[in-house]
Structures are given as structure tokens and as C-alpha cells.
């Protein structure tokens, strides 16, 4: 559901492995999927799955075993409305969206017992409709129960993903995983966004690197105030992760800014600012990034 | 008076043109197409405020050594060209020569004085807007005053002489007995507006219309106010409110030059604004977190790199 870059990549691997996959997509991507199939480009292989099942109308699909939700955060409510025909009592819903309140938002329209928590570190881009490019090694997809340790159904889903060649694993503490991911995307998108610069340039300059680190620390502090304890080295691990990405990498928020597309600012920095204020945690860097980008967050008209 | 205009951009060329029209002996130090136009066609000023006029012949050169010493030098270069310009004007400096900056910034006179002698620089700030629309051709946009004075305060004979020449030429000008205060008063707003407009890519009125970006501007300005205080300069208690009212009232098209430079991929005067504020804050132990973030947000483009 929401077959952008992430959804298309995972769906492509699953379809190649023989799984019964339906892509819910829109616009030129949907048209390309229907006529030319789905092409996945990786450093060491390129493959095309054709034909693929693709539609913009979930009602035509009927109930499924698993819904992988991979829309942008601001499209979630519309997606939840549209996916209702896919649900039966046994259906599991796995959201991979950025944001710390995604499970709650999904549970507003899906029975809480059917909702898993998930995230992915996979960077992908879409070179053209019908194609998805996944550069570098495959980064992890992590899933688990929204609260508490992973259960049998989580391991079942992970095994099924792994059988298709997806680097998936379970976690016994998804809230910490989700906040740690939020730390990375908030710092990546925010600091590359306000500086208009790729990740390597940002991390190489002492002033912008300090801004990046301060942004991470604020997310760590807000997570703590929300009762989520991150790994003691979460900030340094996030910096190490960023340092290990190709220096010319432009996070999606920077790409969206440059293309005049809508930003996920509200789910990222907006959330950190709101929760920081609610818990009395100072978040000057996130407040700054939010103010600096908010009037461009809606995208350029036309 | 013998007056040299160093860096004949919009402001320098405007004051040079007015002073020459008023009967002073003026020499322009310029470069490139602008210099060639000055030499071949003179200097043309379009002004809705004082009327259009044309000076068919002006003295202009790219080599100050050919000019001899001056009574006064008006420094009209961009701040990042200031060190080179200070070296270049050495041949213009005689026994009584003084230099007045037309640049933004609170420490320009100190920077000039550090090169040519501390007693030779006056403080100066300009509230006028004049653009070079083509080589040798200016458009006078906004007619605010040129305010200058002795850094130590009070009046002086040399400042009196410059004031008289400017007023005789019909220039809006005023000698200030407290130029440091006037420099800081303007600087805290111009710096805050440059940094926040540049970072948000917003024209002034758009910046002021949103609560969050407006708060960013005000927070940046308050840090400047605290720095002024720590520097021993007392601004009016309502100075921030005055500046907010000004920014709320500018024309809808008003866009700070730093944002125009950023969009055009030109060098930024970031060091004059956030760079100086951060450095002064460290020196005077005044916290400037907002200006530090603005500096970080813009510094990767300070040497010129176009952004969207």
C-alpha cells in the first residue's frame, strides 16, 4: 500500500520470490507497473517482475494476509481509509512510515491487535515510473510488537520477508527502534534541508556537524521524556551511521525541497517540537529547523 | 573637498555622483564593465526622489596610485573585499585623510582603522538604497540618510566638513555624536533579517507573517541587542519593537540582499552578520544560539553556491 520507492522495492523482491503481491499505486508509476512491470536496480543486479498485480483500487483486491504500509506520513489517513477492503480479522498491518505516532494513527482505523510496528533504513530512489533503485548494501527492516517483545507472528513475517531476500529482523523494543530511526531522519533531513547540502558536506564542517549532533541529542532527550530509553550510544551510533552513508547522498527531505515537493516536516521536527514543549524539554535546534522549513513544507504550488 | 569613492557599487557611485554634482572633486575607483562605462559615458542616475541626472565626465580608475592623496575616502566595497580595499587605498592617504565606510556591520571602522591607522576611520551607516542597473547607470530606490561620526563620540571638524559637503550637494546626511549606538541600532535588525530571510528563503513580509519565522527573527535580534549591551552600547528599551514595526511595514517586495545573493550563487556577507555575532558572543560571553544556527545553516553557501 503506497508503492513508492520502499514499497516497490520490497514488493518487487517478494513478487520475484513467488509471493502473491499486489501493488497499490497511483499515477505514472501505476501506469508503468501495468504496462512494463516493475524494474529493481541494485548495485549487483537488475531484475524486472512482469506482469505485476497493480491497482489504485483496494476494493478490487479483497482481503489479504499482510498489508505493508509505505506511504508518506501525511498520506497515512487517506491510505487507511482506502485500505479497509483489504482487511479481515487475521490481516496484519505493518507500517514502515517515519514518525513516532504511526502505530496509534493506524490503530485508529485498524483493530489494534492487527497492527505491528515497523521501520526501514533502506534508502531507495525512483529513477523513473515503474523502476526503483536501491544503492549500496541493503539496510535493515525492523519489525515487532508495538509494545513488548517480538511474538511468534513477528518472527513468521520476518521469515517470510527473509525468504524473499529482504534483510528483516525482529526487535523486542520497537519504541526505542522507532525513536532511534526518528533521530536519524530528523537530523539527516533537517540539517541537510536547512543547509541545502548533501550529508557528507554537512558532516565534514564542524559547525553543521555540531548542529547535526545537537539535533540528535534533542531527539534523545524527548524520547527519554516520553519514557523511551534509547541505547546509551544512540547519538554516536546515528552519527556513525550517517558517516557511513555515501557523502553525496541527499536525504529525501532535501530532494523534496529541491523538487518543490511536500515535506514530512510535521511527522519529524514538528513532532519533536510538540513533544518537547509538552514535556518541558528544550528543543532549540528542532524549533529552528521547523521554522526554517515550515513555509516550504507544503511544496511549491503547481 | 577631494573625495575618492572606493568600490563604486550602487551606494558609492550614488554619493560620488551627488558630491561631484555639488561641486566637489570626486574620483571613482572601480573595475570591469562599470569602469569602462564610467570612462566612456560618465555616470547616469535615475531618481524619483531628486530627479534624473547625467554626469558626462567623471574621473575613474582601477589604480588608486594614479589619483594622489584625498581629503576623504568613502568605502563602498562589499565587506569580504574590505581587507584588499584597505590595502589598495594606501596611496590615497595623506596627513589629514579620513575614511568613512558605507558598509553594513558594527566593526567596519575598526577593521579599516586596523589597516590604515585607527584615527583615520569614522563610523558610517547608510539608510539609502541605490542599485547599479547597468554599467554606469544607477537607480536610486530609497532615499534614507547617510549617518556618520567619530567613533569616540562628539563632533569634529573633519566630520563637519564632510557633512557640509554632503548637505550642499543635496544628500540626505547627518553627523552623529553617537555613531556606535546608531551602528548597533541598525545592525541588530539588518543582521537578524539577513540571517533569517536567508535561511528560510523568505521575503521580509512573508517572514513576518508566520508566527514561527517571526519568532526566529525576533530571537536573533534579541541576541544582537544583548551583544550591544555587552559592548557598552545602550539602545532604547523598545528597540526590538521598533524594528519589528519597521519589518512589518516594508513593501511586499522587500527582500534582503543576502537572500538575493544566495539565490544568485554570489558570495554572502555572512561574516559581517552571523559570523561577527557568533565571534563577538564568544568574546563577550553572550549566548548567541540562534545566530549560531543561522550561521551553520548558511555558511556552506557563504562563498557562493546557488540554492533553490
What pLDDT digit, counting tens, does each position of A59-93 carry? 999 999 999 999 988 899 999 999 999 999 999 99
Mean pLDDT of A24-40: 94
What integer pLDDT is reported at residue B306 of this predicted model? 59
Q: How far is CA A100 from CA A104, A175, A186, A242, in A?
A: 9, 8, 12, 20
Q: Do B307 and A196 touch (CB under 8 A)?
A: yes
Q: Do B301 and A196 touch (CB under 8 A)?
A: yes
What pLDDT digit, counting tens, does each position of B44-66 carry? 999 999 999 999 999 999 999 99
- The band of A156, judged by pLDDT with boundaries at 50, 70 and 90, is very high
Q: Measured between alpha carbons, how far apart are the two ends of chain B, in Å?
A: 47
Q: Do A207 and B299 touch (CB under 8 A)?
A: yes
Indicate the DSSP class of residue B232.
T
What integer pLDDT is reported at residue A301 of this predicted model? 65
- The band of B305, judged by pLDDT with boundaries at 50, 70 and 90, is confident
A-chain residue closest to B202, CA distance: A295
What integer pLDDT is reported at residue B38 of this predicted model? 96
Residues of A in contact with B289 (CB under 8 A): 284
- The band of B9, judged by pLDDT with boundaries at 50, 70 and 90, is confident
- Return the closest-CA partner of residue A225 out of A163, A277, A302, A164: A277
**Between A194, A257, A287, which is nearest B199 by CB?**
A194
What pLDDT digit, counting tens, does each position of B235-267 carry? 999 999 999 999 999 989 889 989 999 999 999
Q: Is the peptide bond between A31 and the residue preceding it cis, with omega within 30 degrees of 0?
A: no
Answer whether B290 touches A (CB < 8 Å): yes
**DSSP element (H, E) containing A212:** helix A206-225
Answer whether B238 touches A (CB < 8 Å): no
Answer whether B299 touches A (CB < 8 Å): yes
- The band of A125, judged by pLDDT with boundaries at 50, 70 and 90, is confident
Answer whether B215 touches A (CB < 8 Å): yes
**DSSP element (H, E) containing A31:** helix A27-36
B-chain residue closest to A300, CA distance: B308
Distance to chain A for B115, nearest Cα, Å: 30
- Grid cell in block for residue B238: 523598545
ipTM score of complex = 0.84
Q: Do A257 and B308 touch (CB under 8 A)?
A: yes
A-chain residue closest to B209, CA distance: A295
B-chain residue closest to A192, CA distance: B297
What pLDDT digit, counting tens, does each position of B158-207 carry? 999 999 999 999 999 999 999 999 999 999 999 999 999 999 999 999 99
Mean pLDDT of B27-51: 95
- Return the closest-CA partner of residue A200 out of A211, A214, A215, A188: A188
Answer whether B292 touches A (CB < 8 Å): yes
Amino acid at each position: 500500500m503506497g508503492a513508492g520507492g520502499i514499497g516497490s522495492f520490497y514488493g518487487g523482491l517478494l513478487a520475484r520470490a513467488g509471493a502473491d503481491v499486489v501493488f497499490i499505486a497511483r499515477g505514472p508509476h501505476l501506469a508503468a507497473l501495468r504496462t512494463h512491470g516493475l524494474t529493481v536496480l541494485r548495485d549487483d543486479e537488475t531484475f524486472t517482475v512482469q506482469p505485476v498485480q497493480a491497482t489504485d483500487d483496494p476494493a478490487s483486491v479483497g482481503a489479504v494476509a499482510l498489508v505493508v504500509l509505505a506511504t508518506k506520513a501525511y498520506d497515512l489517513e487517506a491510505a487507511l481509509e482506502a485500505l479497509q477492503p483489504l482487511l479481515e480479522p487475521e490481516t496484519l498491518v505493518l507500517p514502515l512510515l517515519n514518525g513516532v505516532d504511526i502505530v496509534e494513527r493506524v490503530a485508529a482505523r485498524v483493530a489494534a491487535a492487527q497492527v505491528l510496528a515497523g521501520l526501514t533504513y533502506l534508502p531507495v530512489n525512483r529513477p523513473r515510473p515503474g523502476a526503483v533503485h536501491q544503492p549500496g548494501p541493503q539496510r535493515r527492516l525492523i519489525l515487532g510488537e508495538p509494545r513488548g517483545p517480538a511474538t511468534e507472528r513477528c518472527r513468521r513475517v520476518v521469515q517470510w520477508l527473509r525468504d524473499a531476500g529482504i534483510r528483516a529482523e525482529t526487535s523486542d523494543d520497537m519504541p526505542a527502534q522507532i525513536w532511534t530511526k526518528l533521530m536519524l531522519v530528523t537530523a539527516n533531513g533537517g540539517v541537510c534541508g536547512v543547509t541545502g547540502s548533501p550529508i557528507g558536506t554537512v558532516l565534514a564542517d564542524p559547525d553543521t556537524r555540531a548542529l547535526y549532533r545537537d539535533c540528535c541529542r534533542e531527539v534523545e532527550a524527548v524520547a527519554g521524556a516520553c519514557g523511551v530509553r534509547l541505547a546509551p550510544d544512540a547519538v554516536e551510533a546515528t552519527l556513525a551511521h550517517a558517516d557511513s552513508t555515501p557523502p553525496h547522498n541527499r536525504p529525501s527531505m532535501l530532494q523534496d525541497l529541491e523538487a518543490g515537493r511536500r515535506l514530512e516536516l510535521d511527522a519529524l521536527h514538528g513532532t519533536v517540537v510538540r513533544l518537547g514543549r509538552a514535556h518541558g524539554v528544550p528543543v532549540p535546534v528542532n524549533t529552528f529547523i521547523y521554522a526554517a522549513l515550515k513555509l516550504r513544507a507544503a511544496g511549491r504550488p503547481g | 573637498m577631494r573625495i575618492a569613492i572606493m568600490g563604486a557599487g550602487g551606494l558609492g557611485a550614488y554619493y560620488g555622483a551627488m558630491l561631484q554634482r555639488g561641486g566637489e572633486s570626486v574620483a571613482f575607483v572601480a573595475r570591469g564593465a562599470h569602469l569602462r562605462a564610467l570612462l566612456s559615458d560618465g555616470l547616469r542616475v535615475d531618481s524619483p526622489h531628486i530627479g534624473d541626472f547625467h554626469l558626462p565626465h567623471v574621473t575613474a580608475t582601477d589604480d588608486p596610485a594614479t589619483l594622489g592623496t584625498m581629503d576623504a575616502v568613502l568605502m563602498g566595497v562589499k565587506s569580504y573585499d574590505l581587507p584588499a580595499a584597505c590595502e589598495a587605498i594606501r596611496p590615497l592617504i595623506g596627513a589629514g585623510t579620513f575614511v568613512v565606510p558605507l558598509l553594513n556591520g558594527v566593526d567596519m571602522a575598526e577593521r579599516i582603522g586596523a589597516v590604515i591607522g585607527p584615527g583615520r576611520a569614522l563610523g558610517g551607516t547608510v539608510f539609502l538604497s541605490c542599485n547599479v542597473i547597468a554599467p554606469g547607470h544607477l537607480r536610486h530606490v530609497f532615499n534614507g540618510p547617510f549617518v556618520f561620526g567619530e567613533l569616540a563620540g562628539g563632533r569634529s571638524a573633519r566630520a563637519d566638513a564632510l557633512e557640509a559637503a554632503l548637505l550642499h550637494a543635496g544628500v540626505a546626511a547627518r553627523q552623529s555624536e553617537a555613531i556606535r549606538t546608531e551602528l548597533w541600532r541598525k545592525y541588530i535588525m539588518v543582521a537578524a533579517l539577513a540571517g533569517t530571510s536567508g535561511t528560510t528563503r523568505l521575503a521580509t513580509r512573508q517572514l513576518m507573517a508566520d508566527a514561527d519565522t517571526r519568532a526566529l527573527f525576533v530571537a536573533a535580534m534579541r541576541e544582537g541587542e544583548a551583544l550591544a549591551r555587552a559592548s557598552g552600547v545602550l539602545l532604547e528599551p523598545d528597540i526590538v519593537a521598533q524594528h519589528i514595526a519597521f519589518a512589518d511595514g516594508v513593501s511586499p517586495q522587500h527582500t534582503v540582499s543576502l537572500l538575493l545573493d544566495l539565490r544568485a550563487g554570489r558570495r554572502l556577507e555572512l561574516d559581517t552578520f552571523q559570523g561577527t555575532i557568533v565571534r563577538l558572543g564568544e568574546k563577550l560571553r553572550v549566548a548567541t544560539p540562534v545566530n549560531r544556527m543561522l550561521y551553520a545553516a548558511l555558511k556552506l553557501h557563504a562563498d557562493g553556491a546557488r540554492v533553490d
